[in-house]
């Protein structure tokens, strides 16, 4: 089995926007004893914590749900939206500064049949509808709050982690507004979504 270079704490402890852009092309790996799933990160959104009205931790808001955002960089933050879909984020910056990057889309690399089985929907050309949304990728890779919220992805024991993936040219990264944050007032206009075409 191929060995992958796990991303370490110093990767995530940097400026959130830099981390978000640098995550494009990296691999998200779910490694279990009897199977493995790998997706290449193709779209992310940056959430700038205390100074970002779109962030769960705006103005240093801290609750039972958001306390994970104050953990070490590299910690996974998984939450439920609409009462049915999970979203995967990774904490950035220094511990205590609650910023994060939302993983919006993955392109499947390995374990594709398992992903398809878990999605239970028709998959289109170029794997359309498999993992091209935050809820879809969590379903495909069986990422739930119970399993992974608060997990330190930098730990060698973590079964869900990020690794070095495919090199991406910075000029190939598109920039736009984040999706589904109409409540965020002027911050909804910030260009904090980054993606590549697949």
> Who contacts 30 (Cβ-Cβ below 8 Å, separation ≥6)?
36, 37, 38, 111, 141, 142, 143, 159, 160
pTM: 0.95
DSSP designation for 157: T
Return the structure tokens found at 145: 């709050």
Q: Rounded distance, CA 130 to CA 39, Å?
A: 11
Residue from 43, 7, 9, 37 nearest 25 by CA: 43
- For 19-78, the pLDDT digits (tens) are 999 999 999 999 988 889 999 999 999 999 999 999 999 999 999 999 999 999 999 999
Mean pLDDT of the chain: 95
């Amino acid at each position: 089995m191929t060995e992958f270079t796990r991303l370490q704490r110093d990767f995530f402890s940097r400026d959130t926007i830099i981390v978000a852009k640098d995550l494009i092309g990296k691999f998200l790996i779910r490694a279990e004893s009897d199977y493995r799933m790998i997706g290449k990160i193709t779209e992310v959104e940056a959430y700038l914590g205390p100074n970002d009205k779109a962030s769960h931790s705006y103005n240093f808001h801290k609750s039972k749900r958001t306390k994970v955002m104050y953990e070490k960089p590299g910690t996974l933050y998984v939450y439920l939206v609409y009462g049915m879909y999970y979203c995967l984020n990774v904490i950035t910056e220094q511990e205590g500064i609650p910023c994060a990057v939302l993983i919006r889309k993955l392109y499947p690399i390995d374990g594709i049949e398992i992903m398809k089985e878990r999605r239970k929907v028709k998959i289109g050309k170029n794997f359309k509808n498999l993992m091209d949304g935050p809820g879809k990728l969590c379903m495909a890779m069986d990422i739930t709050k119970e399993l992974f919220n608060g997990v330190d992805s930098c730990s060698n024991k973590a079964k869900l982690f990020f690794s070095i993936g495919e090199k991406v040219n910075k000029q190939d990264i598109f920039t736009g507004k984040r999706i589904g944050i109409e409540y965020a007032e002027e911050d909804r206009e910030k260009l904090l979504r980054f993606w590549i075409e697949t």
